[in-house]
Amino acid sequence: MSVELDVFVGNTTIMDKEVYQLWLNGYTVNDAVKVRIEGGVMEECEASAEVLLSDTMDQYRTFQMCERLLHHPAKLANQLLFQFHPQIPPDRQAMLIERYYAFDDSFVREVLGKKLSKGTKKDLDDVSTKTGITLKSCRRQFDNFKRVFKVVEELKGPLVENIRQHFLLPDQLARDYAAIVFFANNRFETGKKKLHYLTFQDFAFCAGQLINNWTLGAVDNIMDDMDVDLDKEFLQELKDLKILITDKDLLDQHKSLVCTALRGKTNVFNEMEANFKNLSRGLVNIAAKLINAKDVRDFFIDLVEKFIEPCRSDKWTSIDVNLYLTHYTNSAHILDTFKHHAVWTRYMGVIKSCILRMYHD
Amino acid sequence: MPGKLKAKIVAGRHLPVMDRASDLTDAFVEVKFGNTTFKTDVYPKSLNPQWNSEWFKFEVDDEDLQDEPLQITVLDHDTYSANDAIGKVYIDIDPLLCSEAATVISGWLPIYDTIHGIRGEINVLVKVDLFNDLNRFRQSSCGVKFFCTTSIPRCYRAIMVHGFVEELVVNEDPEYQWIDRIRTPRASNEARQRLIFLMSGELQRKIGLKVLEMGGNAVVGYLQCFDLEGESGLVVRAIGTACTLEKISTFPATATYPSNSSPSKDMKEPGFGEETPGVPLSSGPPTPLRAQTFSSFSPSKSYSRQSSSSDTELSLTPKTGMGSGGSAGKEAGPLKALLRQQTQSALEQREYPFFTLTAFPPGFLLHVGGVVSARSVKLLDRIHNPDEPETRDAWWEEIRQEIKSHAKALGCHAVVGYSESTSICEEVCILSASGTAAILSSRFMQDGPLDAEHRFEEVVSPGCGFCHIPYDELNIPFPAQLTYCYCCRHYKVPDVLFTTIDLPTEANVTGKGCLIQARLCRTKKKAQGEGNATAISNLLPFLEYELHTQLMNKLKLRGMNALFGLRIQISVGETMLLGLASATGVYLTALPSPGGIQITGKTPSDITYEQHISNMQKKINDTITKNKELYEINPPEVVEEIIGSPIPEPCQRSRLFRSHSESSDEVSELDLSHGKKDAFVLEIDDTDAVEDIHALLTDFSIPAGFYSCNTEIMPGIQNWTSAIQMFTSVRVFRLNNANLTNQGLNKIFSDLCENLLKSLYFKLRSMVPCCLCHLNFTVAIPEDELIQVAVTAVAMSFDKEQSLENGKQSGEKTLIKAITDEQLQFNLELNAETSSSNPLSSPKGITMEKASPLPEGRSRSLRSNRSYSGSSVAVVKMTPLSFIPGAKIIRYLGIINMFFIRETTSLREEGGVSGFLHTFIAEVFAMVRAHVAALGGNAVVSYSMKECVFMENPNKNQAQCLINVSGDAVIFVRESELELTSVQPQSATTQTSNCGEGT
């Protein structure tokens, strides 16, 4: 004896925010019912567990029906299947979309920079075990990344704007997705142990820097350029910076300029002075190698290994780092034989803000 | 060639991907009407094609326009193989044929496929140029308006109510034709959908012709049903009430409430002009008895007699046997002699004095006799000649005759709130009809007599008149206890009153009402043919008896004395019969207070047993007390309050004739000390009874803040907010254990209904305080061991505090809603009179109209900015009620009558049976909304899901479902928007205008 079929359909679609979140989190119906019971909704409304089960299943079905539309949020506005509450349709729809596209930082850290392929998707159960996020939710988040990636990949124009328009996401979320797309496209390595201390927001910040300064779309505003790839010409020019470390005179000159400027302004002056050549070599080498796609992937690990770790072991504060990088950047312009000012500025601007962002425990 | 139909295909959107290679579609459209087909160009490689076609023109007879739907098929062009169909749209042209309805159909309509569901949308424009056809012998009936609403539609007034119209058409069911073995499920489904469309169109046209013959211009309470008789065919039948309606042109006073608010004054002239001055009730040889009744009644302020009870239907109906519908004839035999003597009104001379209306213009319904119903069990045979559906006609004729005779037995000349239904299982079919016997005023009858008395009374109609018994108290056809009316003290009223109509708005009600359901399951042996039919016929009376007892017990348990909107549904399956009776219980102030329920045991010797019984008795008493509190039933102590006229003379008469009826001994009219005397005695003599009482007491109590009823409105609740939520909920329960007892089944069935209600309350908890109105349950036995319950209703929020600061608004609403306060009601009538005779009223109307454009326009644009900014889809409200709270219906755009089939061969993939049906119902709603929006409407009123036939075969991963929905497409305007316009100019005449608007 059993209820074989049980449906409820309202002329205006009833969606419970709380249940929506449970669904997004990948809870099974039974688990969701448990959570709801603990939440005390039963006492509130004189309901029984059966009623709650029926309601939860019904809500889940509604969400599943709605999911198809959420994959193309622009359709949600002129679809006919669901009628949302007449007074607040835009809010309600925005909420649905935003929550559907929201992701867990711990999840995104696991897949950031990975190829959004079937292979990665197969490994999601490991990710799920590791993060404690349900597999269902992992899949949803992964599919969201992939969907956004596929749509934007082919589009011209500014990345963030494209995402915002196609997926009707709020600004911050659109930026995060831009970062995810950018990382996936350039396959930046983020999973190495040394990078574990970095949060998604650190990377998202860096991605924003890269997108805004190092892509083709960053320099000229021609709309048919894309934001997802780094400016090849710029990468090529970066090789010219090598002169800063290969030319012995230039290197010495650079060092003395920086040291002069820093003297007396920091507690770690000695370490700075001692490490200058090392650090400079590190940063310039990163620049010179970026023309190789493989080295682009190691960009962040290189920054950490070549710059952040040495500084940290010498107990620089971030103020020290800021000070050092400022003078390091500016001094180069005073070097008489150094000609590549524009490239240097474009390069160091991003490097500086990335390092500063990444310089924490 | 009296009509030109024009269609233009504008664009498509959200089309499905038909070409996997390109992820795109090469779509084109075929537009078909009758045998003519046009095609658009192919719009290559797009999911959002822009066809922008020319106008496709069809020159057709208006007869075809009424019968045929416009059929739009969207296809994917394929160079090498056959073009793939994406889906279809059927457009009912009917609303365009009536000048007062819609003028154009324009908008995005879902493209529907019976296998895949909705697949994108198409934007179309459809218009009709109609040439006038004055041919008297025409076959078309263009221009006759149809309304599902079972009251006079809000922006019309009734000039004349002509009466009953019915028609049925039959055909072979395409699903059972030989060709079905070789065609695809899609083709078969589409053939069926199209056929039902055609048959509905034809049916409507034929009914329209009947209406024109009667001199009417509209059908109100149009109820169309189809019977899937399987092998033996497909029957589409419809009933309705022919009327002559007149659009209320003046903007103002008649605002919201049952439109024809003050008919007595303004419409008398046209209405009575044609009336023959015959004397109705005395046209036959009047018996002295009747005459006497009359003379004693007439001088007093209100109507004559009163009404009945339920018992009626009990004692009269159940005798339905297969092949013979006329059983009642026998029962009513002794009465006949008497009835024959009685005067026959013009109504009685009609073939069927039936009315599908459930609410009436004031003064139309005089007395209510009680529920009459008839059932008959038939064996289906193949319909050989679709053009002559005589057998089916004859079957219904029998039933209607029986109903008519039942009504007569109750001393009534009319049946209101009339409806018909069927339940089919294999080759057995139960036909049912029910209604409420009543006496109507002749005012709206063309051929009706001029009844001076009634005309008089109409002006002052207290809220008790309809309760007064219409039959002769000495010849009560059933046992009943009569007392003097607790309102007027002049006329007799029964102790309980069962009806199928809505609670009359003018009725005096104490407290609030609630939904009352009786549920019953009876097992039966599997059988074939006649044996089966006989077995069912034999079971029916018991079923009805028990349902009735349950209803009565539950009514008493709630301390109430009347049922409205009673609907008894009996459903037949192979091994069981299901009975579900739903009604709204209320406490009518005019009727005596119901006695309690007293239980007695058969074996008093046993002490523990005694104990048990007294425990139960206590529980029952507690429940009654609790319920009285819950529903605010505190009837005034009548005896003291009523002034004068202690015991009018007629009682002597009744004593004289006492021996005449068996009921007389319990009549005891002199005992006015109200109801405690008649405690309802329940005898516990077997386990059945114990179970029953248990069931009675374990009925789930409604959570705080909720009310429920199956009628349009709930007495005692006013000031509705604009928040409404229409919903449909369906549950199917599988009985895995075949060896269930009747009790076990009863419990399961009852729990199923209760649990469904519980879920509804939980779902709608955010709307509290709220009332579930028009709760319409339908039960079915889709196959052995399955019970299906479907509910459609509307949840409406209301403000708890009757806030005085917006007194105007709440005042209006009070008037719209059940009027319980006599004072108010009096005001209302007074003002209705004054406003119609008052010269002030007409200038008021004009100023308002003048004033309206500006503020209204502004508020509208504001609103649209706000609410539609995010979406391009207009909001369409749906409700099973005939009105929208806080809004005024300004136009009826035509009837919506849609039939869909959905089938799947990948049930699991679509989320199982629940996923499948959930999607389908949501799609049906979406299609209804889209068609209403395309007609220019923003709501559907009187919406109902008349059929939801669900079949599944999980083993084959298949399921199929048929849904038939109907309603009236309307345009409404929020009262708050109207108010802006009306407040200022009215300030001078506040009082009148307030009440005027309420009326």
Query: pLDDT tens, B842-851?
Result: 333 333 333 3
* pLDDT at residue B228, rounded to an integer: 87
Q: Does the CB of A47 have a partner CB in chain B at under 8 Å?
A: yes
**A&B contacts, CB < 8 Å:** 146
Report the residue of chain A nearest B701, measured CA to CA.
A46
* pLDDT at residue B694, rounded to an integer: 67
Among B24-28, B326-330, B445-449, which range has the highest average pLDDT? B24-28
Contact at CB, B733 and A58, closer than 8 angstroms: no
Q: Where are the alpha helices (DSSP H) in B215-267?
A: 263-266
- Residue among B34, B42, B29 at smallest CA distance from B5: B34
Where does the pLDDT of residue A44 fall: very low under 50, low under 70, confident under 90, or very high at 90 and above?
confident
Indicate whether B999 pLDDT > 80.
Answer: no
* pLDDT at residue B849, rounded to an integer: 35
Q: Which residue has the higher pLDDT, B813 or B84?
A: B84
Query: Residue B626, class by beta-carbon neighbours within 10 Å (0-12 exposed, 13-18 middle, 19+ buried)?
Result: middle
* pLDDT at residue B596, rounded to an integer: 75
**β-strands B105-113, B117-130 pairing:** antiparallel
Do B764 and B743 meet the contact criterion of CB atoms below 8 Å apart? no
Where does the pLDDT of residue B757 fall: very low under 50, low under 70, confident under 90, or very high at 90 and above?
very high
Token representation of residue B769: 């305080």
Q: Which of A190-204, B342-356, B379-393 has the lowest mean pLDDT?
A: B342-356
Indicate whether B623 pLDDT > 60.
Answer: yes
* Cβ-based contacts of B873 with chain A (< 8 Å): 77-80, 83
Contact at CB, B929 and A83, closer than 8 angstroms: yes
**Backbone CA torsion sign across B499, B504, B510, B512:** positive
Using CA atoms, how far apart are residues B491 and B482, in angstroms rounded to an integer?
Answer: 10
Q: Quote the minimal CA–CA distance from A83 to chain B in Å.
A: 7
Average pLDDT, whole number, for chain B?
Answer: 74
Where does the pLDDT of residue A34 fall: very low under 50, low under 70, confident under 90, or very high at 90 and above?
very high
Q: Would you say how long chain B is, in residues?
A: 999
Using CA atoms, how far apart are residues B323 and B325, in angstroms rounded to an integer?
Answer: 7
Indicate whether B19 pLDDT > 90.
Answer: no
Q: Does the CB of A48 have a partner CB in chain B at under 8 Å?
A: yes
Judged by DSSP in three states, B775 sits in strand
Contact at CB, B915 and A64, closer than 8 angstroms: yes
**β-strands B482-484, B497-498 pairing:** unpaired
Q: Quote the minimal CA–CA distance from B942 to chain A in Å.
A: 14
What is the mean predicted confidence (pLDDT) over B661-683? 40
Q: Quote the minimal CA–CA distance from A38 to chain B in Å.
A: 17
Contact at CB, B755 and A57, closer than 8 angstroms: no
* Cβ-based contacts of A46 with chain B (< 8 Å): 703-704, 761
Q: Does the CB of A264 have a partner CB in chain B at under 8 Å?
A: no
Do A5 and A21 meet the contact criterion of CB atoms below 8 Å apart? no
* pLDDT at residue B667, rounded to an integer: 31
**β-strands B234-247, B218-228 pairing:** antiparallel
Q: Does the CB of A50 have a partner CB in chain B at under 8 Å?
A: yes
Q: What percentage of chain B reaches a pLDDT higher than 70?
A: 69
DSSP designation for B611:
H
Q: Which residues contact B365 (CB under 8 A, 6 or more apart)?
A: B416, B438, B440, B441, B466, B501, B504
Q: Which of A176-190, A246-260, B794-808 has the lowest mean pLDDT?
A: B794-808
Average pLDDT, whole number, for chain A?
Answer: 88
Contact at CB, B725 and A12, closer than 8 angstroms: yes
What is the mean predicted confidence (pLDDT) over A143-150? 93
Where does the pLDDT of residue B319 fall: very low under 50, low under 70, confident under 90, or very high at 90 and above?
very low
What is the side-by-side order of every strand in the sheet holding B55-60?
B36-39, B27-33, B69-76, B84-92, B105-113, B117-130, B3-13, B55-60
pLDDT, tens digit (0-9, with 9 covering 90-100), for B545-563: 989 988 988 888 888 999 9
Contact at CB, A83 and B748, closer than 8 angstroms: no
Using CA atoms, how far apart are residues B430 and B378, in angstroms rounded to an integer?
Answer: 6
Contact at CB, A7 and B867, closer than 8 angstroms: no
- Residue among A320, A318, A250 at smallest CA distance from A284: A250
* Burial annotation A144-160 (CB, 10 A radius, 16+ → b, else e): bbbbbbeebeebebbbb
Interface with chain A: mutation pick from B698, B726, B759, B921, highest number of A CBs within 10 Å: B759
Contact at CB, A45 and B761, closer than 8 angstroms: yes
Rg (CA), chain B: 28
Contact at CB, A46 and B704, closer than 8 angstroms: yes
Q: Which residues contact A360 (CB under 8 A, 6 or more apart)?
A: A197, A318
pLDDT, tens digit (0-9, with 9 covering 90-100), for B146-186: 999 999 998 898 888 888 999 999 888 888 877 767 788 88
pLDDT, tens digit (0-9, with 9 covering 90-100), for B927-955: 999 999 999 999 999 999 988 999 888 88
Closest to B729 (Cβ–Cβ): which among A8, A45, A80?
Answer: A8
Q: Quote the minimal CA–CA distance from A213 to chain B in Å.
A: 35
Judged by DSSP in three states, A131 sits in helix
* Cβ-based contacts of B733 with chain A (< 8 Å): 1-4
* pLDDT at residue B41, rounded to an integer: 93
* pLDDT at residue B988, rounded to an integer: 38
Strand spans (E) along A2-111: 2-10
Judged by DSSP in three states, A133 sits in coil
* pLDDT at residue B50, rounded to an integer: 95
Query: Residue A98, class by beta-carbon neighbours within 10 Å (0-12 exposed, 13-18 middle, 19+ buried)?
Result: middle
Q: Quote the minimal CA–CA distance from B880 to chain A in Å.
A: 12
Do B15 and B74 meet the contact criterion of CB atoms below 8 Å apart? yes
